[in-house]
């Protein structure tokens, strides 16, 4: 679907909604360090990347219903367009009632792109093509030739490629296992993932230049690593929580365990209901007894996400609290 498929009234609605979204994101400070990102969000039409998406059907909890840009009902078509520019994640693929892919919340995308500290001439690898919207923002900022996006699912890459072309962008869109990166277009200055991990794929480090940045969802946070060499990287989590669909790769299964560690029922509600404690449990991946986790959490004065980090060194990777060489560290 191209913008020509919208009638004049909807075109005006799209422009106004996009401008309002940009103002909302700007108010949060995401564009302060990189005004070119604001231009990208102002000029890349998100509705071209979500020709349809799913919302929770009413009454709530009764599955999903689809909103789409070719709906014969003008009111529903207008609702689709307004939703395309809402600052919220949009479910774009649902199978058997399970969310498979989504278009991320625009303000979160803006913060992630800002934290990459993009510069002219940077080559970027994106893991998880999604709708193609994030690749379009990167291509607008850096140029099509500097952007590569990879996804395991050929249906997703085909769809993303079509959306990008409709928006006037043609970065490299490749079908492959994101855990292996994409060596053909290396080296990269930045890698950004839009799916959750529980380890750092070593091929990413080998495909980066020294000093490159890798930003990836990890557990329920955002991990920002700096690459020190082909087999070493280290960094910390950003303050914001983040929830993404899991990465699929390697065996084709999701990397998240999705299991609660035993013994949670014996912990006090003050811990179980606290996001920072849940993050500690998620980060340690069940390798830490919940009562021991509670002891550490209390002793460290309920540490926020940014006090945790990850070190990758050869075949080993560990998460840590406060100090990479301190007493609290866990193998990933």
Digit-coded pLDDT (tens) for 215-233: 999 989 999 999 999 999 9
Contact 241, 300 (CB under 8 A): no
pLDDT of 58: 67
Q: Is residue 252 part of a domain?
A: no
Domain of residue 175, CATH code: 3.40.50.150
pLDDT of 263: 55
Listed in sequence order, the residues at least 6 apart from 106 whose beta carbon sits closer than 8 Å to its beta carbon are 21, 25, 41, 46, 87
Query: Which SS3 state, helix, strand or coil, does residue 218 take?
Result: strand
pLDDT of 290: 86
Q: Do both 271 and 196 map to the same domain?
A: no
Q: Which of 220, 237, 254 is the last residue of a domain?
A: 237
Q: Do both 104 and 202 map to the same domain?
A: yes
Residue 276 is among the residues annotated as catalytic for this protein: no
Q: Do both 157 and 278 map to the same domain?
A: no
Q: Do both 9 and 108 map to the same domain?
A: yes
Contact 294, 267 (CB under 8 A): yes
Q: Long-range contacts made by residues 103-106, C-beta under 8 angstroms, separation at least 24?
A: 103/46, 103/49, 103/50, 103/53, 103/130, 103/131, 103/133, 104/130, 104/134, 104/194, 104/244, 106/21, 106/25, 106/41, 106/46
Query: Which SS3 state, helix, strand or coil, does residue 55 take?
Result: strand
Q: Do both 9 and 65 map to the same domain?
A: yes
Domains in the chain: how many in total? 2
Q: Do both 268 and 230 map to the same domain?
A: no
Q: Do both 218 and 314 map to the same domain?
A: no
Q: Do both 82 and 196 map to the same domain?
A: yes
Q: Do both 294 and 211 map to the same domain?
A: no
- Residues of the chain with pLDDT below 50 are 1-4, 250-259
Q: Is residue 167 part of a domain?
A: yes
pLDDT of 6: 54
Q: Is residue 104 part of a domain?
A: yes
Q: Is residue 242 part of a domain?
A: no
Contact 148, 126 (CB under 8 A): yes
Q: Do both 98 and 152 map to the same domain?
A: yes
Q: Do both 52 and 111 map to the same domain?
A: yes
Give the containing element (helix H, strand E) for 124: strand 124-127
Q: Is residue 243 part of a domain?
A: no
Q: Which of 199, 221, 237 is the last residue of a domain?
A: 237
Q: Which domain holds residue 325?
A: 264-331
Q: Is residue 251 part of a domain?
A: no
Distance CA 202, CA 197 (A): 13
Q: Which of 237, 252, 273 is the last residue of a domain?
A: 237
Reported residue count of the chain is 332
Half-sphere exposure of 207 (CA within 13 A, CB side): 24
Which of 3, 102, 103, 104 is the catalytic position? 104
Q: Is residue 245 part of a domain?
A: no
pLDDT of 33: 92
Q: Does residue 147 have a cis bond before it (omega within 30 degrees)? A: no
Contact 66, 121 (CB under 8 A): no
Q: Is residue 259 part of a domain?
A: no
Q: Do both 26 and 140 map to the same domain?
A: yes
pLDDT of 256: 36
Distance CA 91, CA 64 (A): 9
């Amino acid at each position: 679907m191209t913008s020509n498929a919208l009638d004049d009234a909807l075109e005006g609605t799209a422009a106004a909604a996009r401008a309002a979204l940009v103002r909302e994101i700007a108010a949060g400070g995401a564009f302060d360090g990189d005004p070119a990102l604001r231009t990208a969000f102002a000029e890349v039409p998100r509705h071209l990347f979500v020709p349809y998406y799913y919302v929770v059907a009413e009454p709530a909890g009764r599955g999903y219903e689809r909103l789409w840009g070719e709906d014969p009902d003008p009111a529903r078509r207008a609702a689709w367009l307004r939703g395309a520019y809402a600052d919220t994640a949009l479910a774009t693929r649902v199978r058997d009632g399970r969310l498979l892919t989504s278009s991320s919340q625009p303000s979160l995308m803006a913060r992630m792109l800002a934290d990459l500290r993009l510069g002219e001439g940077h080559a970027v690898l994106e893991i998880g093509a999604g709708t193609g919207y994030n690749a379009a923002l990167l291509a607008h900022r850096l140029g099509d030739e500097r952007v590569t996006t990879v996804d395991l699912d050929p249906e997703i890459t085909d769809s993303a490629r079509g959306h990008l072309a409709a928006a006037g962008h043609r970065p490299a869109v490749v079908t492959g296992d994101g855990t292996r990166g994409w060596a053909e277009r290396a080296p990269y200055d930045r890698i950004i993932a839009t799916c959750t991990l529980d380890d750092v794929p070593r091929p990413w480090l080998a495909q980066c230049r020294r000093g490159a940045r890798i930003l990836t969802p990890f557990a329920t946070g955002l991990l920002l690593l700096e690459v020190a060499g082909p087999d070493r990287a280290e960094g910390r989590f950003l303050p914001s929580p983040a929830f993404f669909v899991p990465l699929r790769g390697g065996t084709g299964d999701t990397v998240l365990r999705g299991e609660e560690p035993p013994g949670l029922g014996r912990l006090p509600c003050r811990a179980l209901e606290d996001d920072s404690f849940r993050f500690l449990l998620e980060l340690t991946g069940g390798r830490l007894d919940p009562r021991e986790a509670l002891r550490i959490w209390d002793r460290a004065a309920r540490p926020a996400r940014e006090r945790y980090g990850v070190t990758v060194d050869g075949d080993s990777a560990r998460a840590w609290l406060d100090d990479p060489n301190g007493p609290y560290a866990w193998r990933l």
